Structure 1
Amino acid sequence: MTHRVRLPRKVVERPIRQVVKRLAMALFVLAATAFIVWVDRDGYHDNAGDGVDFLDSLYYATVTLSTTGYGDITPVSDAARLTNIFGQRFVRCATATLQLGYVARLIVMRRSPSLSFPSQGSV
């Protein structure tokens, strides 16, 4: 005799709320990265010849976190390079891992709608 196992279902947050939370997290990471670059602005070189102001820091953080890296603003001091290696690279890897986990979760949920996942926190 076979029995069907039913997993408990948790209440899942509305999709718009999940998107807003993820957007807020992304904006926080972007703002924090821009602030860190701005604090150490003397450790960066802008090819335009100007100093690095907050707008340049925000631009650099956006370009760097998106892994584009145009090279027009570059870290030149050891502190700026270490921040880039250990700070921004870590954030990029963590963000990519979260995004891949979220996409994998969506694929599994679409293929097996009977499965239940925690509503938040795991991805």
Structure 2
Amino acid sequence: MGGKLARQLILRLTIWFLLTANLSLANIVIGVTVALLLPRGDTGRNDRLSEWLRVLFKVFASIPQAYAEALEMILRPHKREEIVLQHVQPRRSPHLLFLDIFLITFTPKTIVLKYHEAGWFEVHRVTRGGPS
């Protein structure tokens, strides 16, 4: 049980530091406090470690992608907006679903609008080109 709590805390702190981009002592204390105070949900599912590692790798890989997309949007206007459906991997735990939503929303060109129980994310994205 202690390993599961440690994984939850590491995940929450990782997301906290990605969102705040601040490693000051005060922010670390706040992050640990928030990570400990958030309720812990027990989904009854044991996600594979390889799945967690793959998702966490994607989280860290999305950081340069977010900067690149922001720079691209500054240099070349993105005037077209569209809403697309993106497939969700089957049998995802709520924790992995949250990370999937975080990955999509972290980059400036996309944001998740809605999660459909049938296995789809409704995603708003902007692209280059004229208005739709």
TM-score by length of 1: 0.30
Structure with a larger share of its residues in helix: 1
Structure with a larger share of its residues in strand: 2
Question: Greater Rg, structure 1 or structure 2?
Answer: 1
